[in-house]
């Protein structure tokens, strides 16, 4: 198959040499398209020798063959590793100022990008917005690994190992060959990705359990992780319904069903899950709700009693259990058409067990297929853009540790696990 290996100007360019080797040894015809800055890190001679082909960075060589159009058109896969902040920005804004960006605009095959840069650059809202745009357009953005960076610093931003990138390339090539990625102009509009043809339901946000017209019992969930899961699933081609108790802006291509309480969320999930391939319960559903709802605002001072004295005692709120929506989904399953059910577990760890131990016990108790365990506390996770999670799978002792990375990167990792199950 024809693979274009785009290389942007980052120190991790040296790892792309190993990726090129792996792709060539697997029998693929690899054309390397570095950016001019990439050649500061690994020279033209290396790329030409390893690929056995001439290497160009601009559109002015071999002009009669129209390489700025042909290379992209003929590709079965374009993989950009490393993708720097600058390359992501140029790709997201549709620029065509060198050969690689021209290739990205003309390619109608699966596109993989592996961002690698310093943590600050990766986490900058501009870079995250560019990644979100590219993801929504169907680019498979591989989350960076966390660890030692070029200097003394450590954090998310490392290019994943060449073997991991190679695996992603193999999967994307198979997907493209399977017809999931349309070619021609239709590709720019049609959903592409490994979730194409799948219907998924994602819940997000913290439910609010009203006490009276102005007060409610709530929790600190922002809904950002659920929204990231919905956005990434849509970017990977799924038809997505987001049952949301949060008031964030709807991600592109996602149908949002707004709910407030656990009971409303349960009804919406039940209705939507009937036709779904996957249900992801990322919402923080209140386990309890007030047993009664006061039609009028509960006043601090009640009406004077028979003896004329005002009653200033504090009201007592009685709670009743809410249904466990996740447990209900698991219990209702039967037959091969049952959806894959993903639960989230917000854990703090305590003196009796670690976060992971609590997670394993919850996976066994809830019976879902995947449990994403995240460590929570007043200062971590809630409302933040980053998340650290451990992904557990039913019937397996393996733990996938993800983070600290953005909630979009966590979402990519969760969907990787789910597509594996599907």
Helix (H) or strand (E) holding 68, with range, is: helix 67-74
Among 84, 221, 225, 322, binds ligand CTP (CB under 6 A): 322
Q: Is 109 in the site for ligand CTP (CB under 6 A)?
A: no
Active-site residue, from 102, 130, 219, 322: 219
Among 47, 122, 227, 344, binds ligand CTP (CB under 6 A): 344
Give the nearer residue to ligand CTP in terms of CB position, either 46 or 244.
244
Site string for ligand CTP, 266-285 (x = CB under 6 A): ---------------x-x-x
Q: Is 346 in the site for ligand CTP (CB under 6 A)?
A: yes
The residues in 281-310 that bind ligand CTP, with binding defined as CB under 6 A, are 281, 283, 285, 287
Task: Examine the residue annotation and report whether 219 is marked as an active-site residue of this protein.
Answer: yes
Q: Give per-residue burial for 136-157: e unless 16+ CB within 10 Å, then b.
A: bebbbbbbbbbeebeeeeebbb
* Number of residues this chain uses to bind ligand CTP (CB under 6 A): 13
For 322, the token pair is: 């809410």
For 357, the token pair is: 């131990």
Among 173, 326, 389, 402, binds ligand CTP (CB under 6 A): 326
Among 262, 370, 402, 413, binds ligand CTP (CB under 6 A): 262
User: Interface with ligand CTP by CB under 6 A: which range of 79-87, 142-150, 224-232, 341-349?
Assistant: 341-349
Q: Is 260 in the site for ligand CTP (CB under 6 A)?
A: no
Give the nearer residue to ligand CTP in terms of CB position, either 96 or 356.
356
Q: Is 47 in the site for ligand CTP (CB under 6 A)?
A: no
Among 103, 111, 141, 345, binds ligand CTP (CB under 6 A): 345
Q: Using an 8 Å Cβ cutoff, are 213 and 296 in contact?
A: yes
Residues lying near ligand CTP in the complex (CB under 6 A) are found at 262, 281, 283, 285, 287, 322, 324-326, 343-346
- Catalytic residue annotation: 219
């Amino acid at each position: 198959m024809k693979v274009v290996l785009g290389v942007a100007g980052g120190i991790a360019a040296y790892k792309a040499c190993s990726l090129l080797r792996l792709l060539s040894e697997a029998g693929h015809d690899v054309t390397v398209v570095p950016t001019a800055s990439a050649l500061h890190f690994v020279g033209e001679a290396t790329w030409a020798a390893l690929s056995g082909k001439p290497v160009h960075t601009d559109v002015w060589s071999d002009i009669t063959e129209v390489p700025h159009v042909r290379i992209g058109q003929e590709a079965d896969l374009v993989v950009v590793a490393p993708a720097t902040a600058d390359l992501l920005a140029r790709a997201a804004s549709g620029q065509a100022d060198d050969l690689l960006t021209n290739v990205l605009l003309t390619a109608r095959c699966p596109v993989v990008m592996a961002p690698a840069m310093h943590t600050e650059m990766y986490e900058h809202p501009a870079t995250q917005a560019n990644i979100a745009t590219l993801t929504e357009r169907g680019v498979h953005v591989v989350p960076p690994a966390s660890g030692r960076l070029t200097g003394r610093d450590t954090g998310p931003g490392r290019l994943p190992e060449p073997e991991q990138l190679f695996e992603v390339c193999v999967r994307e090539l198979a997907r493209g060959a399977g017809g999931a990625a349309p070619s021609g102009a239709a590709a720019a509009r049609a959903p592409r990705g490994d979730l194409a043809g799948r219907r998924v339901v994602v819940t997000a946000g913290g439910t609010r359990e009203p006490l009276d017209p102005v007060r409610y019992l709530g929790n600190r969930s922002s809904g950002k992780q659920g929204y990231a899961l919905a956005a990434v699933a849509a970017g990977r081609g799924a038809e997505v319904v987001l049952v949301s108790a949060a008031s964030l802006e709807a991600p592109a291509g996602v149908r949002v069903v707004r709910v407030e309480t656990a009971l409303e969320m349960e009804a919406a999930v039940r209705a939507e899950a009937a036709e779904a391939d996957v249900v992801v319960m990322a919402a923080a559903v209140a386990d309890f709700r007030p047993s009664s709802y006061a039609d009028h605002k509960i006043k601090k001072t009640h009406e004077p009693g028979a003896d004329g004295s005002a009653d200033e005692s504090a009201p007592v709120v009685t709670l009743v259990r809410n249904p466990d929506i996740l447990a209900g989904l698991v219990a209702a399953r039967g037959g091969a058409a049952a959806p894959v059910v993903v639960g989230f577990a917000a854990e703090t760890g305590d003196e009796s067990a670690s976060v992971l131990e609590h997670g394993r016990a919850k996976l066994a108790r809830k019976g879902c297929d995947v449990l994403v365990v995240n460590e929570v506390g007043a200062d971590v996770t809630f409302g933040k853009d980053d998340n650290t999670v451990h992904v557990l799978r039913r019937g397996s002792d393996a733990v996938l540790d993800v983070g600290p990375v953005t909630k979009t990167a966590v979402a990519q990792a969760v969907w990787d696990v789910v597509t594996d199950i599907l």
